[in-house]
Amino acid sequence: METFKNCLLLVLIFSGFQLKAQTAEEATTKNVEAKNYVFVASSANPLNATDINNVMSRMPGYTGGGNINLAGSNYSLTVTSDSLVSYLPYYGRSYTPKIGDPNDSGIKFKSKDFTYKSTQNKKGGWLILINPKDVKDNYNLTLSITKSGRATLSVVSNSQQSISFEGNITEPELKKKK
């Protein structure tokens, strides 16, 4: 009888994991199809990893490998049907200096005028091409999303070396009304 209870308990636990996985996939599908999601960056992968390693190796806690950990940093790309908000860091070589605000570094912009093309692949994920038209720099964003919500964002610019980010797709937080 004790063995039966243990088996039943295991079945319930594993079925709970399966339900959670299905809801994560369903949530990702719903958000991507509605153009209402946030890409939260967990790591950055600069194109010129050798130069980055030379600089970053002098900083405490850097482990090397060209992959920069961004966990807990709130770097994100927010996509809605009518706007695009990017708050991402940049590591690499810039061909054109940013003049003006010294805090104006990284890939930070807000756009209301952008092209958005989404295609679903055979495995159920998405490939999304985004080109903002009303920002100072010319950015081409390519977002590859899996069914489970893992994503890779590649950013190509005329004024900077390419960079890619790894992360997850989440639902946007609802803004509290005052």
Any idea which of 43-52, 54-63, 81-90, 134-143 has the lowest mean pLDDT? 54-63
Any idea which of 22-31, 69-78, 113-122, 142-151 has the lowest mean pLDDT? 22-31
List the chain domain ranges. 24-170
- Reference 92, options 22, 174, 165; nearest CA is 165
Q: What is the chain's alpha carbon radius of gyration, rounded to the nearest angstrom?
A: 20
What distance in Å separates the CA atoms of residue 169 and residue 178, rounded to the nearest whole number?
Answer: 27
- Reference 92, options 48, 45, 140, 42; nearest CA is 48
Q: What band does 95 get if pLDDT is binned at 50, 70 and 90? A: confident
Q: What band does 50 get if pLDDT is binned at 50, 70 and 90? A: low
Specify the higher pLDDT residue, 104 or 132. Answer: 132
- Could you write out the DSSP letters of every residue in the chain? -HHHHHHHHHHHHHHHHHHHHHHHHHHHHHHHHTT-EEEEEEEEEES-HHHHHHHHTTSTT---SS-EE-TTS--EEEE-SS-EEEEE---S-BSS---S-TT--SEEEEESSEEEEEEE-TTS-EEEEEEESSSSS-EEEEEEE-TTSEEEEEEEESSB--EEEEEEEEPPPPPPP-
Strand partners, 167: 41, 151
For the domain spanning 24-170, the CATH number is 2.40.128.410
